[in-house]
Amino acid sequence: MKMKNRAYRKFEKNRFKANGSCPCGKNNRDGKFATELGYAGQPIGYCNGCAKSFWSNSETIVKPYELREEDIPSFCSPDTKSLIDSFDEKLESGFAKFLVDLFGEYQAVKIVEMYYLGLIDSASGSQDPDVIFWQLDADKNLRAGKVMEYNDKGKRQGIPRWWHKINGNDCQLNQCFFGEHLIYDLNKPIAVVESEKTAAIMSYVNPTFIWLACGSSTNLQDSKCSLLSKYQVTLFPDHKQYERWKEKADKWGFDISRDCEIMFEEGLISEGDDIADYFINLARDLKSKIKKIDPEWSGFKNEIPKD
């Protein structure tokens, strides 16, 4: 039995050139809307994105004047002046005071300057201002400001706030690594941790690395990792996050440390702690022993090297 010939529609080869957008209003940069051959510049064809057909002989055809513009998100881009005006020059935030207590004033200043740490009035009414962890990307573009409250013991209070929300800006976060601005300035291997607090502390404890923070255990995203693919990178996951981060390490060719798993097994840190917690415990233990020997010892606050 002889089959009847079937008619197949033909389409323009260069989909984006034929039509910059789909009749449904979406941008056609990814070429999902195929324009029917001979109808370049007209909203006639099939969209693989919305699974709708818009043929010349169909009632689904959308008139050019009915096309909707694609909604382009407004990404957050704080004014650099905000970073300058909020700079914690006098080490007034609860987090800065914690750094002073842990390492001394001289080292605290260096950490605050390295990461441009800022301060803002506490939302909880605390006497100590909150710290602003600014996200400045590798090209020195200011992406976001993460506001967090810490007490002078280094314990986080409440939940994070965002600079753009505090200032009433309706924009979409486009985050980068905390500390990313250091990549092009320092010729060092890169270490990635979860929290900004940990990155700041480890920058003093182990300065052989550039310490970056992704912000949370689930925030080590491919969009961030792709920037680091050409560098020597080691991931330092928190305790119990090794397997999750191992997948990212394997995918991007990063090294990964089991330090926190080992430290927990040896009883050196608590469940869920990170690598900085080990050194915080170590520093506090050292201070406690010194106090027993010299009760008048007042810490490192005034031990600033003379030039």
DSSP for 53-98, written as a single string: EE-TTSTT---GGGPPPP----B----HHHHHHHB-TT--SHHHHH
pLDDT at 56 (0 to 100): 62
Residues 199/180, Cβ–Cβ less than 8 Å: no
pLDDT at residue 161 in the model = 94
Q: Crossing angle for the helix pair 275-293 and 196-205, nearest 10 degrees? A: 60
- pLDDT the model gives residue 174: 85
Q: What is the pLDDT of residue 3?
A: 39
Residues 6+ apart with CB under 8 A from 126: 94, 149, 151, 157
Helix axis angle for 94-103 and 196-205, nearest 10°, is 30
> For the chain, how are helix, strand and coil distributed in percent, rounded to 5?
30, 20, 50
Q: Give the pLDDT score at 151.
A: 84
| Residue spans per domain, the chain | 10-72, 73-176, 177-301
> What is the rounded distance in angstroms from the CA atom of residue 195 to the CA atom of residue 215?
5
**Which pLDDT value is given to residue 14?**
78
Full DSSP string of 112-157: HHHHT-EEE--TT--SSPEEEEEEE-TT--EEEEEEEEE-TTS-EE
Residue 37: is it exposed, middle or buried by C-beta count within 10 angstroms (0-12/13-18/19+)?
Answer: middle
* Helices 105-115 and 94-103: angle between axes, nearest 10 degrees: 130
Closest CA to 18 of 33, 6, 30, 3: 33
Alpha-carbon Rg for the chain, nearest whole angstrom, is: 27
pLDDT 10s digit of each residue in the chain, 307 long? 443 333 456 778 777 777 877 777 777 777 778 888 877 877 788 777 676 777 766 554 445 544 455 555 567 888 899 999 999 999 999 999 999 999 999 999 999 999 999 999 998 888 999 999 999 999 999 999 999 999 878 889 999 999 999 988 888 888 999 999 999 988 899 999 999 999 999 999 999 999 999 999 889 988 889 899 889 999 999 999 999 999 999 999 999 999 999 999 999 999 999 999 999 988 877 665 554 454 554 554 444 444 4
Q: What's the pTM value of the predicted model, to 2 decimals?
A: 0.72
| Topology (CATH) of 177-301 | Dna Topoisomerase Vi A Subunit; Chain: A, domain 2 (3.40.1360)
